[in-house]
């Protein structure tokens, strides 16, 4: 009760919630597999309120969990141990735009799609895009260094962050880089906070670079029967056109999408795998040459190309609707990455592990193969409870992640570590690296109040 009274002194006008329904709503993310047990949710509107909150937390040993759109898949926004959730829903303003620098200033709670639309209205483009862009927030995108479907051409969130304003775990306000293109004055602290999952401080404002408006795009979906041929296909198209995206998905993934009835199959004959290729529309001729070469070499069996924006959107939905279409199957998700050249061998090895241990479970593959990012989704059968299913899947992670370690890959390409993968972090990071990360945590958050238990155990 004392803590709630102190929070009410900082956050007036009903911006402290303690009802159980509110705690559950704001205290979890899309993992839905961790206990949710916070003590309150607060809704700051100003930076000085966050500074006051951090000082209160240090004085009263409160733990703080930042909350954005809560679309994460690793438990990074879960509050399970009497924490105070800090929602950025009310810090949602786009407050500055400089057309010369092509930089937009926004608060952490701005929805990703709103920033994309803001850019389009000004003839520009914010290229970081993914299925949850309609509900994810910029602060959360930065805290997890979100990637998405256009990384092969435009890079990650990190590549578009020109500056950050952060309230650290000591209550200090740090303004990083201030939108500069060149700044050779020591450590670029901005990059420590990008991908830090809220463990070092609150990202409260960002300066985001925008790109020139893109040319009209074409989309092709291609049928592929051999896993190794997907990499051949990528190399073939890259020799002829500049790719905006190169995605892949399995026949099972396509079945799950088309079973919903809203999108038809791209062609009648089923294939083991499918590649989705996006490129500038003025490269039609070059893309046709690449397709003919792939066809001659038996790397593809068939294909379809969009003839309108509506058809392009329909083809994209075959890929983007996968996550939603398998949600009812309660998938156990793994978000993995290896070097692009390692993808076919890695996929084959992982299939071998899953089939060996769980031949009765369906495996749904899809991912951003153009940047080596693969999404492994094991689907829950009706015969297993959720706890039994997750325990079985969790059991093979050491063997799976050993393959990642052998190939120098990452156990989390874009979803983050959070609670879900913290015990497996040594498969991707050395003891020396983890020690340095803990040291940085101690510098920026000496009281251990910022998103505790995420990335690594307290």
CATH number at 39 reads 3.30.43.10
Asked whether residue 119 falls in the same domain as residue 170, the answer is: yes
| pLDDT tens string 402-431 | 999 999 999 999 889 999 899 999 999 999
Asked whether residue 317 falls in the same domain as residue 342, the answer is: no
Q: Which residues pair with 106 in a beta bridge?
A: 94, 206
Asked whether residue 59 falls in the same domain as residue 128, the answer is: no
Structure tokens at 280: 């500038």
Asked whether residue 55 falls in the same domain as residue 112, the answer is: no
Asked whether residue 141 falls in the same domain as residue 162, the answer is: yes
Asked whether residue 99 falls in the same domain as residue 191, the answer is: yes
| pLDDT tens string 256-287 | 999 987 789 999 889 999 999 999 999 999 99
Residue 451 lies in a domain: no
Number of domains forming the structure of the chain: 4
CB contact set of 11 (below 8 Å; sequence gap of 6+): 42, 43, 44, 49
Asked whether residue 152 falls in the same domain as residue 163, the answer is: yes
Q: What is the mean pLDDT of residues 174-178?
A: 97
pTM: 0.93
Last residue of a domain, one of 299, 323, 347: 323
Contact 153, 245 (CB under 8 A): yes
Name the percent of the chain lying above pLDDT 90: 77
**Burial class, 25, CB count within 10 angstroms (exposed 0-12 / middle 13-18 / buried 19+):** middle
Asked whether residue 268 falls in the same domain as residue 318, the answer is: yes
Residue 240 in this model has a pLDDT that exceeds 80: yes
- SS3 of 209, please? strand
Q: In Å, how far from its chain's centre is CA 2?
A: 37
| pLDDT tens string 127-145 | 999 888 999 999 999 999 9
Q: How confident is the model at residue 220 (pLDDT cuts 50, 70, 90)?
A: very high
Asked whether residue 386 falls in the same domain as residue 349, the answer is: yes
- In what side-by-side order are the strands of the sheet with 302-305? 302-305, 217-224, 273-280, 243-250, 362-368, 373-379, 332-337
Residue 110 lies in a domain: yes
Asked whether residue 153 falls in the same domain as residue 257, the answer is: no
Asked whether residue 340 falls in the same domain as residue 273, the answer is: no
Q: State the average pLDDT for the chain.
A: 93
Name the percent of the chain lying above pLDDT 70: 100
Asked whether residue 22 falls in the same domain as residue 109, the answer is: no
Distance CA 426, CA 414 (A): 17
Gyration radius from the chain CA atoms = 23
Contact 429, 437 (CB under 8 A): yes
Residue 453 lies in a domain: no
| Residue with the two structure tokens 């689907």 | 379
Residue 50 lies in a domain: yes
Considering only 213-227, 233-247, 365-379, which range has the smallest mean pLDDT? 365-379
Last residue of a domain, one of 323, 349, 383: 323
Residue 452 lies in a domain: no
Distance CA 148, CA 316 (A): 13
Phi then psi for residue 400, to 5 deg, are -65, -45
Residue 1 in this model has a pLDDT that exceeds 70: no
Q: Which of 75, 85, 93 is nearest to 30 (CA)?
A: 75
Boundaries of domain holding 25:
2-89
Centre a 10 Å sphere on the Cβ of residue 317 and count the other Cβ atoms it contains: 16
Contact 217, 259 (CB under 8 A): no
Contact 137, 69 (CB under 8 A): yes
């Amino acid at each position: 009760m004392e803590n709630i009274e102190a929070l009410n002194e900082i956050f007036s006008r009903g911006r402290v919630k303690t009802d159980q329904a509110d705690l559950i709503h704001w205290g979890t993310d899309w993992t839905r597999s961790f206990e949710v047990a916070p003590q309150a949710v607060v809704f700051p509107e100003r930076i000085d309120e966050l500074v006051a909150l951090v000082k209160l937390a240090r004085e009263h040993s409160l733990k703080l969990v930042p909350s954005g759109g809560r679309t994460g898949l690793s438990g990074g926004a879960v509050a399970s141990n009497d924490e105070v959730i800090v929602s950025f829903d009310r810090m949602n303003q786009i407050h500055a735009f400089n057309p010369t620098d092509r930089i937009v200033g926004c608060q952490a709670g701005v929805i990703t799609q709103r920033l994309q639309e803001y850019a389009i209205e000004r003839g520009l483009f914010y290229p970081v895009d993914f299925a949850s862009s309609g509900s994810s927030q910029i602060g959360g995108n930065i805290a997890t260094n979100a990637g998405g479907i256009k990384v092969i051409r435009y890079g990650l969130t990190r590549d578009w962050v020109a500056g950050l304003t952060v309230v650290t775990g000591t209550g200090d306000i740090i303004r990083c880089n201030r939108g500069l293109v060149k700044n050779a004055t020591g450590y670029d602290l901005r990059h420590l906070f990008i991908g830090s999952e809220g463990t070092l401080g609150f990202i409260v404002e960002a300066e985001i670079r925008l790109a020139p408006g893109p040319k009209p795009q074409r989309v092709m979906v291609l049928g592929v029967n051999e896993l190794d041929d997907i990499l051949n296909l990528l190399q073939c198209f890259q020799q002829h056109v500049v790719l905006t995206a190169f995605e892949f998905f399995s026949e099972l993934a396509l079945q799950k999408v088309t079973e919903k009835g809203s999108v038809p199959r791209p062609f009648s004959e089923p294939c083991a795998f499918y590649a989705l290729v996006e490129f500038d529309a003025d490269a039609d001729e070059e893309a046709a040459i690449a397709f003919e070469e792939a066809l001659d070499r038996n790397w593809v069996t068939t294909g379809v190309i969009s003839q309108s924006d509506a058809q392009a959107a329909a083809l994209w939905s075959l890929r983007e609707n996968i996550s939603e279409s398998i949600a009812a199957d309660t998938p156990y998700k793994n978000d993995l990455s290896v070097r692009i050249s390692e993808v076919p061998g890695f996929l084959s090895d992982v299939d071998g592990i899953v089939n060996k241990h769980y031949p009765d479970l369906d495996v749904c593959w899809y991912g951003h193969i153009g940047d080596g990012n693969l999404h492994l989704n094991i689907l829950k059968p009706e015969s297993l409870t959720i706890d039994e299913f997750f325990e079985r899947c969790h059991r093979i992670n050491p063997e799976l992640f050993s393959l990642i370690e052998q190939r120098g890959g990452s156990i989390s390409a874009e979803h983050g570590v959070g609670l879900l993968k913290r015990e497996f972090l040594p498969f991707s990071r050395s003891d020396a690296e983890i020690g340095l990360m803990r040291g940085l945590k101690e510098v920026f958050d000496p009281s251990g109040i910022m998103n505790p238990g995420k990335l690594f155990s307290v």
